[in-house]
Chains A and B, each alone.
Chain A
Amino acid sequence: MWPFMVWSMYKNSRPAGPIKAYKRRIIGITAKGQRETVTGELLGSSGYSMRGIYAGALAKGDSSVAQDLFRRLNRVRKDPFVELHLESESYTVADTGVVKQRIPVLIYRPDSLKPR
């Protein structure tokens, strides 16, 4: 119960291995063909939720999250989203510095169960 909280953030450890991070964005394509970045503000949620919950689940191919996103985003829109694109890059720490790699875009549609 906020503000009486459990203070166990960042408690988990990880074994030795490559240091890797992902940066993800969700881009919505509207029925009129407009591209719009789906932000926490647009969704009515926090930026952390967008990155940590939605983008993370979409990256794993969770289409139920995509359907939930379509439902929430299109609830009050006049120009509804017909596609959600998950654009991602991975960043890996290497001896030469940080290596950036683009990851193929995942596309979700309101009527399809799997991303393509």
Chain B
Amino acid sequence: MRLPVKRWLDRWNAYWFPRTTTFSLAVARIVAVAAQLFWFNDPLESHLNFLEKNPEFINPELLISAIAAVVSREAFFNPEVFIVLYWVTVIAGISALVGFLTRTSIFVFASGTWILIAHLYSYGDRHHPQAIFAIVLMLLAFAPSGESLSVDALIRRRRDRAAGRTTAPDERVQTAMWPLKLAHVLLAWGYFSTGITKIIFGGLDWVNGYTLQAYTFSDAINREIPLGIWLGQQHTLAILLSIFTVLFETFFFVSLILPWTAPFFFITGLFFQIGLFVTAGHTFFQHMVLLVLLLFLLAPPWWQALLNKYFNLYPSVGARQQASTPPGSSSGQAATAKAVTEG
């Protein structure tokens, strides 16, 4: 009989470190970096305007305080340095996107992004949309995200060919999925803490309809969103949506425990975030991107099979499912060997 500790350890490894190709991670890198670079990046002018108009920070973020403590505020937080920081971040982003010196590029890109966002949030207010996405960007630097679909991979293959070495075209590793799995956990944690604080602080009154009406109506009036102004007047609908919101946020973590439910939660989450945007102007686009990535890259086999049937998105789904069995198990090794041979 196997020791329970060993069994749990195997389960832990099977969850975080399944043997897969690096293709999904590479797709995640390209989509995430491109989204940050071309969609979410705040313009340089915002930073320069804040630096010009504010002789000091108002509630500086810890990251900003730490930099100011080490380098001094005057030396680092001035337009000259920020112009350089901004463009170094952009160039590192482009390099990460094409996969050149991938992990170093992503690290520089994520670090620059963290500093730039923390800087904007050091003048009186801060918001949530970028937080989890920024952490996920940084995670990509600590995983083999440049092993596929990258200039690095191209250079490596060319070098191997020149040296007469043969490389498996579809090499499998155990470290390609943990960033996506952790992104899932972070989203679940974010949603859970949002939902549970509504229950603890708001209590039953949070689902009385008036609460959601008031929040939506206020945001929609100030942001001039007609759909939100209309929703702010619909009491019964507000009750139903309040119940849905609390249930969805609090129980999103179920998708971690029962992976077959994950696509339902990811799709629901996507519509939830779109709904918040079109009714109250909450711009959680980063969550939308993460949810789409998880929906396609972290999907359970039944979902992949469904997509494969209608869109032919996962042509090697069978082989990959077999190859994803826990490392160390004989069936997993056999499947991996078979899949690599099939190539």
Residues of A that sit less than 8 Å from B by CB: 1-17, 19-23, 41, 43-46, 48-49, 51-53, 72, 75-76, 91, 93, 97-98
**With A15-B208, A43-B53, A49-B124 in contact, is A21–B63 under 8 Å at CB?**
no
Q: Are A16 and B208 in contact (CB under 8 A)?
A: yes
Q: Which residues of A contact B49 (CB under 8 A)?
A: 41, 44
**What residue of chain A has the Cβ atom nearest to residue B121's Cβ?**
A2
Give complex CA distance A48, B223 in Å.
11
Per-residue A-contact encoding for B53-89, CB less than 8 Å = 1, 0 else:
1110010011100000000000000000000000000
**With A44-B49, A76-B52 in contact, is A14–B121 under 8 Å at CB?**
no
**With A13-B211, A19-B217, A98-B229 in contact, is A7–B128 under 8 Å at CB?**
yes
Going nearest first, the 3 A-B pairs with the smallest beta carbon separation are A44-B53, A13-B202, A13-B205
Size category of the binding interface on chain B: 35 or more
**What residue of chain A has the Cβ atom nearest to residue B124's Cβ?**
A49
Give complex CA distance A17, B54 in Å.
41
**What residue of chain A has the Cβ atom nearest to residue B130's Cβ?**
A3
Give complex CA distance A2, B138 in Å.
14
Question: Chain B nearest CB: distance from A80 CB in Å?
Answer: 14
Q: Which residues of B contact A23 (CB under 8 A)?
A: 221-222
Give complex CA distance A17, B208 in Å.
11
Residues of B that sit less than 8 Å from A by CB: 49-50, 52-55, 58, 61-63, 114, 117-118, 120-121, 123-128, 130-132, 134-135, 189-191, 193-194, 197-198, 200-203, 205-206, 208, 210-211, 213-215, 217-218, 221-222, 229, 232-233
Q: Are B229 and A3 in contact (CB under 8 A)?
A: no
Cβ 8 A contact of A4, one of B53, B54, B131: B131
The prevalent SS among residues of A at the interface is loop
Q: Which residues of A contact B134 (CB under 8 A)?
A: 3
Could you write out 11 A-B pairs with CB less than 8 Å apart? A1-B63, A2-B61, A5-B128, A7-B189, A8-B201, A10-B194, A11-B198, A11-B200, A13-B205, A46-B123, A46-B125
Question: Chain A nearest CB: distance from B288 CB in Å?
Answer: 17
Interface centre among B53, B55, B205 (most CB of A within 10 A): B53
Give complex CA distance A5, B117 in Å.
14
Q: Are A46 and B124 in contact (CB under 8 A)?
A: yes
Question: Chain B nearest CB: distance from A21 CB in Å?
Answer: 4
Q: Which residues of A contact B125 (CB under 8 A)?
A: 45-46, 48-49, 52-53
